[in-house]
Chains A and B, each alone.
Chain A
Amino acid sequence: MNAESTFSVVVLIKRVPDTETRIQVKDGKVNTEGISWVISPYDEYAVEEALRLQEKYGGKVTLLCLGSEDAKETIRKGLALGADDAVHLNDPAFEGGDAATTARALAAALKKMEYALVLAGKQAVDEDNAQVAIRVAELLDLPHVNAIIKLDLADDKKSARCVREVDGERDMMETSLPAIFTAQQGLNEPRYPSLKGIMGAKKKPIADWKAADLGLDPAHLGAAGAQIQVERYDPPAPRPPGKIIPGDPATAAKELVRLLREEAKVI
């Protein structure tokens, strides 16, 4: 697993709607028409960090993505940023699953890959599960460090020191390698793809792996294996229209305090 020859980093990425997108819900389903898709923002930090490690230590950056055929476009975006190649878990058997089935497939794929460490986003901004990468760590019996904002490898690349930020507290954490790290905003400033990168991405290899390639029983994957199932989606309850309070600052402030006390009863 821990290759002596090349320093390999695998980055887990997910295709999600751009955060600018308005999510339209119809008949209990999310209408995906007109959505523009991106690499989940936290995964972008993970890709960037992997590329910076490669700049420092050489070696190879591989993207690992579970998703439908459409996810190819998103994988190409990651390759355009500079990743060398990708593995696409592309099989209807993987789809419609929950965090557990997704982690199971990703862990099985990682077992077949070489890596010094794995990076991922701390959560995907679609379902906001914040589980998959940590589950993968447990399934592979790897240590994990969650929500890192700084990552430094020891000279021998056998251990790492990182800073993570959770619930208003900041910790310096240490771990042996290989390990899985999840990226928090603040880890770095992701780069934009260059034109050369975009052109080059078209020629970079993407391997399609199916459930059978991972030796996994489809009954334990995707919708068939999921214990957690989304029944329906609804739009959030609309907020009633608000009031604009007129007057000079002192008058408006006075009226606001009155409303907060007497109408909203929050203070």
Chain B
Amino acid sequence: MTIKEIQEELIDEFAMFDDWMQKYEYMIDLGKTLPLIDAEKKTDDKLIKGCQSKVWLNSEMQEDKIVFTADSDAIITKGIIAIMIRVFSHQTPDAIVAANTDFIAEIGLQEHLSPTRANGLVSMVKQMKLYAIAYQATNK
């Protein structure tokens, strides 16, 4: 699926819920199913420090696609990470660089991507894009 298609799919999934509690419960469940990042990859150079929660992000090239794995010490942050990984992992660098995260607002979870929240998520998305730009550059 393309990034756009996955984003549409997520918007549909979240549209089923009519209150924030259900939305959050679903997001927390997504966080729990996030495939864990290998322990040996949870090193300091993969650590994105938010003041409130920590995020680890690893990226690898598999053929022409980037595979992201990530983790956080906070479960709500992990839920958002799971959503971002579903959208951006196993995509080409070109597609990742071209994509945006406007769908998060449509789902109604935009507050988690606010830079003032200091949960590390804004930096994580930025870092995903930077990896994609770096892979783009090395492949050309």
A interacts with B: no
